[in-house]
Structure 1
Amino acid sequence: MIHIVFNQVEVELMQEVTALDPSLQGSVIQIRDDFAVGPLAALDTAEGWQERLNWWQTLSEGSPYQMEAGGDFDDRKTVAAIKAQLTADPEEVVWIWMGQNQHDVTGYYWLVPQLKEFQGRIMVLYLNNLPFINEKGQIFYPSWLWEIRPSEFLKARKLARPVTLSEFEIDPDEWNKLVQENAVVRILEGGKKIAGRDVSFYDEEILKNITGEWQKATRVLSNTLNRMKIKTGDLFIMWRLKELIQAGKVSAEGAVDKDWKSFDVRLAGRNEPQEVPEAEL
């Protein structure tokens, strides 16, 4: 059995889950890319894939996740390894675990068309609008798998079902629509419906957490990530913060281009000159 998840924190989570139920024993594999943001055009070509990696590299500059030129991950190789394992072992099956969020759903849309030849052996568990019990014994509706206690997955496993032949026909069309639209931001509107949004979609959320007083950029990042309802990753939020600085909507003090901890921000319009990035000095 191969379990597929879409977030790093969920790899360890699923390992805990499989330890609780021997019938779920198997490897846990992560699809690492976040297809809810960034360019999607021509990802079936080397040039298109490289363009996406270059985009991620730009966002990673100065971050704790600094990528080398050309990128340091390739989900295509991950999928190729999964397909090779399915081919080598006719009894092997895949379980795709999805939370109710755009990150997991767009990852699913990218992944599923590549597994069509194994129809009947690809299972999906989409925890969409399902109630769970939290640590306080309260009912809640999680958006992400990592919000769920490992023991609660033992009930959820009963919902696993094969990806249908119809889904293998229709879901690739949904992915192709996203590729053609090629929006920079994608959100989940309900069910498995993904809608494109402008690159500035999260800017308002960032600006809500910036005041007229200087504060660390990392504090703005943390507050934004914790308070926003429709979540995205820290790389994208910090990139947009830097874009707001470039646009003159946010003032910066310190070395913006060095690392995330090296500059402070506040709302623009306080009559102080904006600091010049260290690279330009």
Structure 2
Amino acid sequence: MIHIVFNEADTGVLNKAIELDETLHGRVVQIKDDYAVGPLTDIYTGEGMQARKNWWAHVLAGGDYDGKANDGSADDCKTIAEVVGELRRNPGEILWIWAAQNKHDVSGYYWLLYYVKEFQGRVFILYLNNLPFISEKGNIFYPSRLHTIPPKEFLKAKKLARPVTLSEFEVDPDEWARLSDEDKGVRILEGGKKLVQYDYDFYDADLKRYITTDWQKAGKIIAQFLSKNKHTTGDAYMLWRLKLMITAGEYDIQGELKNMKDFEVKSKTGAAEQANQ
């Protein structure tokens, strides 16, 4: 059994669940790219893959994750090639895709189907869509991330595994192709498996709400956005957007425009005074 997850934290909690139930025994594989942001055009061609890699290199340049796009640590194509190889060599092997109700997991699921369509009947989905679980404190909650589910609760979740249907193998890749052709930069989950797309500046207006007239570290601004905003994405993406606003002259800055801890930001003095008049 091969388990696919889309977040590093999910890997840890699923491995703990496997320790509790030998019927789940298998290898846990993480798809590392965040397909909820960035270009998707020709995503399955060499040219499209390189364009996406170049985009990530640009986004991460000069920040906390500088160089990660080119260091080989997030090579999903290599990862999925190894998985496909295992499935071809062992006809008895099966694949379980674990996804919670969030744009990151759902986008990863759509991306993945292209590579495993030849194994219809051996590919299972566990989509935790609006399903209640019991927290460590005994409260009922509806998880949007797999890693928030206690390991023992995964033993209940495994009962939800079902084969990806022939219809899904036909319809979902078409939906992903449609999204890819739109050439947008941000994907948001509306419900179920329905993704809608927006331009790269989708989060900008909300991020600006956390920039005040007082100096704040970039990391603090981004942390507030991530903890309080309805729609969020990775901190690397938000650092990139914040830097673009600063280089456009929208805000005052002190420090070096590099990592989140290296510089502080505040509203321009003139703009703040004008707003208060």
The two structures have a TM-score, normalised by structure 1, of 0.92
The residue type equivalent to 2:3 in the other structure is H
Superposition pairs of residues 1-281 of structure 1, within 5 angstroms: 1-67=1-67, 70=70, 72=72, 73-256=74-257, 258-270=258-270
Q: Distance in 2 between matches of 1:142 and 1:182?
A: 30
Of the structure 1 ranges 169-178 and 246-255, higher mean CA displacement relative to structure 2 is found in 246-255
Contiguous gaps of at least 5 residues in structure 2: 273-277
1:71 Cα deviation after fit: 5.2
Question: Secondary structure in 2 aligned to 1:183?
Answer: coil
Of the structure 1 ranges 144-153 and 163-172, higher mean CA displacement relative to structure 2 is found in 144-153
Q: Distance in 1 between matches of 2:271 and 2:37?
A: 35
Q: Distance in 1 between matches of 2:108 and 2:21?
A: 26
Describe the shift of the 1:271–1:211 C-alpha distance in structure 2 as closer, same or farther (beyond 3 A). Answer: closer
Question: Secondary structure in 2 aligned to 1:44?
Answer: coil
1:246 Cα deviation after fit: 2.1
Question: Across the two proteins, how many residue pairs are aligned to each other?
Answer: 271
1:220 Cα deviation after fit: 0.7
Describe the shift of the 1:186–1:26 C-alpha distance in structure 2 as closer, same or farther (beyond 3 A). Answer: same
- Aligned-residue RMSD, C-alpha: 1.5
Describe the shift of the 1:45–1:150 C-alpha distance in structure 2 as closer, same or farther (beyond 3 A). Answer: same
Describe the shift of the 1:160–1:53 C-alpha distance in structure 2 as closer, same or farther (beyond 3 A). Answer: same
1:164 Cα deviation after fit: 0.4
Q: Deviations over 1:32-60 (max 9, x none)?
A: 11010001111222121111111111111
Q: Distance in 1 between matches of 2:158 and 2:5?
A: 14
Of the structure 1 ranges 20-29 and 219-228, higher mean CA displacement relative to structure 2 is found in 219-228
Question: Secondary structure in 1 aligned to 2:253?
Answer: strand
The residue type equivalent to 2:139 in the other structure is Q
Q: Distance in 1 between matches of 2:143 and 2:209?
A: 25
The residue type equivalent to 1:190 in the other structure is G
Q: Distance in 1 between matches of 2:197 and 2:131?
A: 25
Q: Distance in 1 between matches of 2:167 and 2:187?
A: 24
Q: Distance in 2 between matches of 1:21 and 1:131?
A: 21
Q: Distance in 2 between matches of 1:208 and 1:20?
A: 45
Q: Distance in 2 between matches of 1:36 and 1:64?
A: 20
1:70 Cα deviation after fit: 4.1
